[in-house]
Chain A
Amino acid sequence: MAIAHVSPGTSTHVQPERSGRKVPYLLMLPGLLWLAIFFIYPLINLAETSTKTRATTQETGAFVQTYRFANYIDAFIEYQDQFLRSFMYAFLATVLALAISYPLAYAIAFKSGRYKNILLILVVAPFFTSFLLRTIAWKQILGAEGPVVYVLRTLHLIGPDTTITASSFAVVMGLTYNFLPFMTLPIYASLDRIDPRLLEASGDLYSNGLTTFRKVTMPLSMPGVVAGTLLTFIPAAGDYINAAILGNPTTKMIGNVIDSRFFRIVDYPTAASLSFTLMAAILFLVVVYIRRSGTDELV
């Protein structure tokens, strides 16, 4: 290995080194351009919009730049309930998704044998249909005339007038369902990578199954867990589809407010400042979380 590594470097030392230095930048160029055009520029635009105020003409969609940073405070105070609710729902959905995904990923990685690929396909299968359609489907399944309510009513577990949809329960359930693959796949990936010899070694050292899981499997799967929780929590906190389809007016999330401010009321500054506040809040939570969970390889 050492010889193979050294020999090309010694024969043509200077040339590949120089071109090798450019290669990473060239490879990054498309991505950087993409980010600059579709992320940085809109972000600057959004920042500029967020401090505008309505023009004196009061005309719909007419705003002037007044550098009014109080927009942020006003918007946050008015919609703090929705902010809090978004993070609470996203947190609950993440915890639920983790509780469902970990055993699932574990089973696929270690116990599925020749069904492994089929099971993985089944995890990804929901992505073959649109997010929106799947959420609408849940609305039908949980609806007043749907199978779930029918069974529960027949068993007298719920009253004749109780419905499941249009509730916080349905919203959290929808979020959990929709982001489940984002949780399952990273956990599966890190579990699958575990060298089985480590588990054997653990057994050789007289640790039982539970201890092996606690001391070997779980720590080694932590990068997957952290990645999965981030991939679930971040989109869930900003989601508005589930709250709009499965919720009621008292379960609206911050995404619904931003949507309504942008498109219904045409109040761009408030929508922009809410977007920034949401972004900052998520960034803050994520940084704290990554620091505490100590998985440096992710950052």
Chain B
Amino acid sequence: MNEKLSPETRALIKAQLTRRRFLAGAGAVGATAVLAACGGAKKEPGSASESSASDSSGTVRWANWPEYLDYDEKTQKYPSLETFIAASGINVVYKEEVNDNDEFYGKVQIKLEQGKDIGWDIVTLTDWMAGRWIRLGYAQAFDEGAIPNKENILAGLANVGFDPGRKSSLTWQSGFAGFGWNKEVIPGGIKSLDQLFDKKYKGRIEVLSEMRDTMGIILQYQGVDVSQPFTEDQFMNAVDFLEKQVADGIIRQVKGNDYLDDMESGDAVAVIGWSGDIFALANDNEGKFEFAIPESGGTLWSDNVLLPTPSTNKKNAQSVINNYYDPAVAAQVAAFVNYICPVQGARDEMEKIAPELVNNPFIFPDDATLAKVKVFRPLAPEEETTYSEAFASASGN
């Protein structure tokens, strides 16, 4: 999702977000912290298994994105994970190891190619990258019946192009790409790309370096359905459109997650950004920021949990995934991360822990909201190369 530098920047931003999100979900987290305190202090994740990189002792090593699991700042633990560890006896080492799809892939690709243990039993990757892993045989198929809670997945996510029938991946969280803006500068809001790329805001607009989100929004603006096959010409038209905005100096930067920095500092007044991020930013700044899905359509992306092929801890890894597809646990996570919860029934559970979030369409999207977004279709390898080269060129590199 980011440029090379942004993992650190991202980590910095996320460190700030921790507090915001912690406050935002304080009710829920407070409750779970109590639960964790009651039953969870038995095992210290990470203590026993740091050194055992390739053993099959049952410790599940999970690589996830920063701030993507309920976290208690006081105890510095993940309450839902602690509860699971205490109940199941399965030790889990959870690390915020994935900062960027490409970067993570770069780190583990050679080992995957050689079939060697990559040090992780669960990895969390965005749709297209998950698709690449599945295509290359780097992800194991789930055992039949090993994840009974799998059936709780939202109908809209149950069948995706890159993994028909969800045989080897399950959604972790989803989110929307759309417009985020500073309400003090743009009180009228941003509804279309024309408004986003208005000359008034020249040099103060940023778009995501995540190609499928930025290009997905531009393509839909040009009337192309990104969930259906489109031609190279159509894609290149959209690239030309982006290139023009860059050349005209409208676009300040094409960035990863650190666009949040620029919104907060005022360097950027409007962006193509991610839903949960903008809400967290708004929470922290007295509602100064707003998010909306473009009129012409936004994108719906998901991050997925996968089991790397060389992992020998499949059984326990599946138990972990199964746990997070329990609606109550899923609600606990969703209340903290502010992204779309992929689990049916979590909404009812949310009623119990954070009723104010139940009607948030960006955590529990209604049909009207989902009708406004598309999932970017999977790209064939040669398309992926051609398109990402063109997108990178338009972004200056």
Asked if A163 and B136 sit within 8 Å, CB to CB, the answer is no
A269–B34 Cα gap in the complex (Å)? 54
Q: Answer yes or no: A106 CB below 8 A from chain B CBs.
A: no
Pairwise interchain contact B203-A163, C-beta atoms closer than 8 A: yes
Assuming the A-B contacts A163-B203, A260-B397, A266-B106, are A241 and B5 also in contact, with contact meaning beta carbons closer than 8 angstroms in the complex?
yes
* B265 interfacial contact with A, CB 8 Å: yes
Q: Quick one: which of A142-183 are within 8 Å of B by CB? A: 143-146, 161, 163, 165-166
Residue among B8, B384, B385 making CB contact with A132, cutoff 8 Å: B8
| Most chain A beta-carbon neighbours within 10 Å: one of B4, B102, B203, B385 | B4
Chain A CB within 8 A of B32 CB: no
Measured as residues with beta carbon below 8 angstroms from the partner, the interface class of chain A is 35 or more
B63 within 8 A of A: no
Min Cβ gap B164→A in Å is 20
Residue in contact with B253 in the complex, picked from A132, A166, A262, CB distance below 8 Å: A166
Residues of A within 8 A of B252 (CB): 166, 248
Q: Is the CB of A265 within 8 A of B392?
A: yes
Known: A249-B253, A250-B247, A263-B4. A144 touches B102 (CB 8 A): no
Contacts of A263 in B (CB 8 A): 4, 102-103, 106
Chain A: minimal CB distance from B362 (Å): 27
Interface pair B397/A252, CB less than 8 Å apart: yes
Whether, in the assembled complex, B254 has its beta carbon less than 8 Å from a beta carbon of chain A, the answer is: yes
Interchain CB contact under 8 A, B4 and A240: yes
Given contacts A60-B384, A165-B267, contact A257 B109 (CB under 8 A): no
Residues of A within 8 A of B254 (CB): 249
Instruction: Report A-chain residues with C-beta under 8 Å of the C-beta of B4.
Output: 240, 244, 259-260, 263
Q: How many residues of B contact A (CB 8 A)?
A: 44
Q: Which residues of B contact A161 (CB under 8 A)?
A: 202-204
Query: Given A163-B203, A166-B253, A245-B5, are A60 and B385 neighbors across the interface (CB < 8 Å)?
Result: yes
Does A204 lie at the interface of the complex (its beta carbon under 8 Å from any beta carbon of B)?
no
Q: Is the CB of A249 within 8 A of B246?
A: yes
CB of A54 within 8 A of CB of B267, answer: no
Bound together, the chains give a CA A252 to CA B385 distance in angstroms of 21
Contact pattern, B 132-158, Cβ under 8 Å of A = 1, otherwise 0: 100110000000000000000000000
Q: A136 within 8 Å of B by Cβ?
A: yes
B265 in complex: contacting residue of A57, A145, A251, A257, CB < 8 Å: A145
Among the listed B202, B204, B265, which residue makes an inter-chain contact with A146, where contact means beta carbons less than 8 Å apart?
B265
Q: Which of B202-253 contact A (CB under 8 A)?
A: 202-204, 209, 246-247, 249, 251-253
Partner of B397, one of A57, A144, A256: A256
State A267–B5 Cα separation when bound (angstroms): 19
Known: A249-B396, A263-B103, A264-B102. A144 touches B265 (CB 8 A): yes
In the bound complex, residues from chain B placing their C-beta under 8 Å from that of A261 are 392
CB distance from B240 to the nearest CB of A (A): 14
Chain A hits for B102, CB < 8 A: 263-264, 266
Flag whether A82 is at the interface (Cβ < 8 A).
yes
Contacts of A247 in B (CB 8 A): 253
Task: Kindly provide the distance from the CB of A252 to the nearest chain B CB, expressed in whole angstroms.
Answer: 4
Residue of A nearest to B7 (CB): A132
* Complex CA–CA separation, A161 to B199 (angstroms): 12
Q: What distance in Å separates the Cβ of B264 from its nearest Cβ neighbour in chain A? A: 9
Instruction: Report if A166-B203 is in contact (Cβ < 8 Å); known contacts: A146-B265, A257-B397.
Output: yes
Q: Does B9 contact A (CB under 8 A)?
A: yes
Closest to B202 in A: A161
Chain B's closest residue to A166 (CB) is B252
The answer to whether B267 touches A58, judged by C-beta atoms less than 8 angstroms apart, is no
Expressed in whole angstroms, the Cα–Cα distance for A233 and B369 within the complex equals: 53
- Which of chain B's residues has its CB closest to A241's CB? B5
Given A132-B8, A249-B395: A60 and B381 interface contact (C-beta under 8 Å): yes
Residue of A nearest to B204 (CB): A163
Kindly provide the distance from the CB of B129 to the nearest chain A CB, expressed in whole angstroms: 10
B106, B132, B267, B382 — which one has the most chain A CB atoms within 10 A of its CB? B267
Q: Give A25 to B381 CA distance when docked, in angstroms.
A: 51
CB proximity of A226 to chain B, nearest CB, Å: 31
A59 within 8 A of B: yes
Q: Is B97 an interface residue (CB 8 A)?
A: no
CB nearest neighbor in A for B243: A249
Q: Is there contact, CB below 8 Å, between A58 and B382?
A: yes
CA of A166 to CA of B389 in the docked complex: distance in angstroms? 23
Query: A140 in the interface, Cβ–Cβ < 8 Å?
Result: yes
Q: In the complex, what residues of B have CB within 8 A of residue A252's CB?
A: 395-397
Any B CB within 8 A of the CB of A235? no
B246 contacts across to A, CB distance below 8 A:
248-250
Q: Which residues of B contact A262 (CB under 8 A)?
A: 106
Tell me if A163 and B267 are in contact (CB < 8 A): yes
| A9: interface (CB < 8 Å) | no
Q: Is A61 an interface residue (CB 8 A)?
A: yes
**Does B5 lie within 8 Å of A265, measured CB to CB?**
no
B183 to chain A minimum Cβ distance, whole angstroms, is 16
Contact with A along B362-397 (1 / 0, CB 8 A): 000000000000000000111011001100111111
Chain A residues, Cβ within 8 Å of B12: 136
Our pick among B8, B132, B395, B396 for the contact of A60 (Cβ within 8 Å) is B132
> Nearest chain B CB to A37's CB is how many angstroms away?
18
Complex contacts, B267 vs chain A, CB 8 Å: 139, 143-145, 163, 165-166
For residue A105, give the distance in angstroms from its CB to the closest CB of chain B.
31
Chain B residues with Cβ below 8 Å from A146 are: 265
Min Cβ gap B75→A in Å is: 28
Whether the Cβ atoms of A58 and B253 lie closer than 8 Å is no
How many whole Å from A45's CB to the nearest CB in chain B? 12
CB-based contact B397/A259 at 8 Å:
yes
Q: Using CB atoms and an 8 Å cutoff, list the residues of chain A in contact with chain B.
A: 54, 57-61, 78, 82, 132-133, 136, 139-140, 143-146, 161, 163, 165-166, 240-241, 244-245, 247-252, 256-257, 259-267
For this complex, 22 residue pairs linking A to B, each with C-beta atoms less than 8 Å apart, are A58-B385, A132-B5, A140-B265, A143-B262, A144-B265, A144-B267, A163-B203, A165-B267, A245-B5, A245-B9, A248-B253, A249-B395, A249-B396, A249-B397, A252-B395, A252-B396, A263-B4, A263-B102, A263-B103, A264-B388, A265-B385, A265-B392
With A54-B385, A139-B267 already in contact, 14 other A-B pairs whose C-beta atoms are closer than 8 Å: A59-B381, A60-B132, A132-B8, A143-B262, A144-B265, A166-B203, A247-B253, A248-B252, A249-B246, A249-B253, A249-B394, A260-B392, A266-B102, A267-B389
